[in-house]
Amino acid sequence: MIETHLQSRVYLDNSASTKIAPEVLEVMLPYFTEQFGNASSIHSFGQQAKGAVDEARRQVASLIGADFNEIIFLSGGTEADNLAIRGIAESYRSKGNHIITSEFEHPAVRNTCLAFEKQGFRVTYLPIYENGLVRIEDIKSVITNDTILISIMHANNEVGTIQPIEEIGALVKEIRLERKNLFFHTDAVQSVGKIPIDVKSLGVDLLSLSSHKIHGPKGIGALYLRKGIRITSQLTGGRHERERRAGTENVPAIVGLGQSAELAKENLEKFQEIKSLRDYFEAGVAKLIPEIKFNGDKEHRLANISNISFSYIEGEALLIALDLKGIAVSTGSACSSGSTQPSPVLVAMGLSKEMVRGSIRFSFSRYTTKQEIDYVLSVLPEVVARLRNVSPLYKQAMAKEK
Amino acid sequence: MQYSKAILDHLENPRNVGEMIDANAIAEVVNSACGDKIKLFIKFRDKKIISATMKAYGCVPTLSSVSFLTEWLMGKSFEEASNLEVDELINLLGGLPRGKKHAADLAIEALQIALLSYKPDTQNNS
């Protein structure tokens, strides 16, 4: 950990992970100690655990408008995406071998689709445009009778843009009137608990969610699977989770996920207040720092994400310089072994290499305060100016302007 | 990413930033794979380096390596400067995380190219 010069630290990396809510931790603790039973056991210890898992299932189902039996607990967003894609592809492979996804997806989806390409599936990666959104016409133009799965992320983890999931869901329903075996999955890890979600009105068949993005514990998530759809379980073992995910339930974590879902639901309206904090932050940055670019659609975007490219400087340098001031953010640029791996999302949005390298994601939570934002605004301009002063690109650009 | 105190210090307080008009050894190098860029300016007088400045774009160790270098070069002879190797620079920086050695490579490349460009100025007895 980098030593900072400050007593206080400002955490603006809530899209990576969030701090666990005290109320969540509190309800989890008894399930590590006195209520440690296996939820499959029929004695009272087991039944207590099963009751807690059932309650969590109700809480999660309630947050997204699902039915109790449509929730499968598993280890997190990555496993949910894997189970959704692998489960459908393997179950319905005899009906077709085409998957539609986007250039925009989390590696859990992107790399799983790539794995299926190697197994003979055809995968179409829809382009996204400068605003970070897919276009429904593009989906219509690539869909064929062989398409069995569409997987499009709900809200993007880097820029927060919210895809037209409802429209895609309506299209899928329309197509399904003529052809049964087409399913629609969305990775909603970033959006669940941040915007109202109703799986029925979105028209999705599968939806991935994760606990640690909503002030719950890590290592636990859920997949919504619409009633009546069969998927191939990816783990063989006991008959847990209605035979769709073997393995003893992680009861404390499931309880934590349930509680974090309930709190997220209670705080949904309050979460939108983050938008005014985010807008205040962006207005401050725009006023104080020249030559920046806000990435992602201004309207169709989560309230808590601000992705900004700072010209002439490199994201990692800015990230570490901010960390030294006690501010935690993330960057779309990862330079390792002498080659930079630019964010595929920002590249897909048409940003220049330099603007991708200079991109920083600030992501807020319901615990973020105005004082924290003011502190960031007091530090950021000086740090950016210092790095630009060192940058030969800045001097070149200034000379061109003259 | 774990960086040494020295590297973080040079990030926070970059030394000798700027371009030198009267430098007599200059280099501009780019890592084509990642886009990192270094400009290094060195001034010799009486066969010793009396000043070195830099500009740098890139990740933390790139900025810090060349910032460190401009300080280290002060008072060094041509021979001492040309004998500096990548591993020694990394040691002087307190080590580099895995995958970041290229930053020190680029700084040493800048130094070597600058020394190759060195044109002694007879009037200044350099």
Q: Where are the domains of chain B?
A: 5-119
Q: For the domain bounded by A10-19+270-401, which CATH number is listed?
A: 3.90.1150.10
Nearest to B11 by CA among A316, A251, A173: A316
- Determine the residue of chain B that is closest to A331 in CA distance: B59
The CA distances from residue A143 to A109, A126, A207, in Å, are 19, 11, 20
Mutate to test the interface with A, among B28, B29, B57 (most CBs of A within 10 A): B57
- Looking at the complex, does the CB of residue A33 fall below 8 Å from at least one CB of chain B? no
A317 interaction partners in chain B (CB closer than 8 Å): 11, 58-60, 63
A2 interaction partners in chain B (CB closer than 8 Å): 3, 8
pLDDT over 80 (residue A395): no
Catalytically active residues of A, by annotation: 335
Q: If DSSP codes are grouped into helix, strand and coil, which group holds residue A392? A: helix
pLDDT over 80 (residue A57): yes
Q: Which pLDDT score is estimated for A114?
A: 97
Q: For the domain bounded by A22-266, which CATH number is listed?
A: 3.40.640.10
Does the beta-carbon distance from A316 to B59 stay under 8 Å? yes
Query: ipTM of the assembly?
Result: 0.93
Does the beta-carbon distance from A317 to B59 stay under 8 Å? yes
Query: What is the interface size between A and B, counted as CB pairs within 8 Å?
Result: 75
- Give residue A1's pLDDT band: very low, low, confident or very high (50, 70, 90): very low
- Determine the residue of chain A that is closest to B99 in CA distance: A337
Does the beta-carbon distance from B11 to A313 stay under 8 Å? no
Q: For the domain bounded by B5-119, which CATH number is listed?
A: 3.90.1010.10
Q: How many CB atoms lie within 10 A of CB B46?
A: 9
- Measured CA to CA, the distance from residue A162 to residue A297 in angstroms comes to 8
Does the beta-carbon distance from B12 to A321 stay under 8 Å? yes
Q: How many CB atoms lie within 10 A of CB A396?
A: 14
pLDDT under 50: residue ranges of chain B? none
Q: Which pLDDT score is estimated for B123?
A: 54
In this predicted model, what pLDDT tens digit does every residue of A157-188 receive, in sequence order?
Answer: 899 999 999 999 999 999 999 989 999 999 99
pLDDT over 60 (residue A7): no
Stretch A25-44: mean pLDDT, rounded?
96
Q: Which pLDDT score is estimated for B122?
A: 56
Q: Based on the number of CB atoms within 10 Å of its own CB, is B118 exposed (0-12), middle (13-18) or buried (19 or more)?
A: middle
- Looking at the complex, does the CB of residue A42 fall below 8 Å from at least one CB of chain B? no
Taking a contact as any Cβ pair under 8 Å apart, which residues of chain A between 276 and 315 contact chain B? 312-314
In this predicted model, what pLDDT tens digit does every residue of A265-320 receive, in sequence order?
Answer: 999 998 888 999 999 999 999 999 999 999 988 888 999 999 999 999 999 999 99
B30 interaction partners in chain A (CB closer than 8 Å): none
Which carries the bigger pLDDT value, residue A123 or residue A299?
A: A123
- Domain positions in chain A are 10-19+270-401, 22-266
In this predicted model, what pLDDT tens digit does every residue of A243-252 receive, in sequence order?
Answer: 999 999 999 9
- Measured CA to CA, the distance from residue A23 to residue A21 in angstroms comes to 5
**pTM, two decimal places:** 0.92
Residues across chain A: 402
- Determine the residue of chain A that is closest to B3 in CA distance: A2
To the nearest 10 degrees (0 to 180), the angle between helices A370-390 and A273-288 is 30
DSSP 8-state assignment for residue B22: T
Q: Which pLDDT score is estimated for A339?
A: 62
Q: Going by C-beta distance under 8 Å and a sequence separation of 6 or more, which residues neighbour residue A233? A: A83, A87, A243, A244, A245, A246
Largest CA distance in chain B: 48
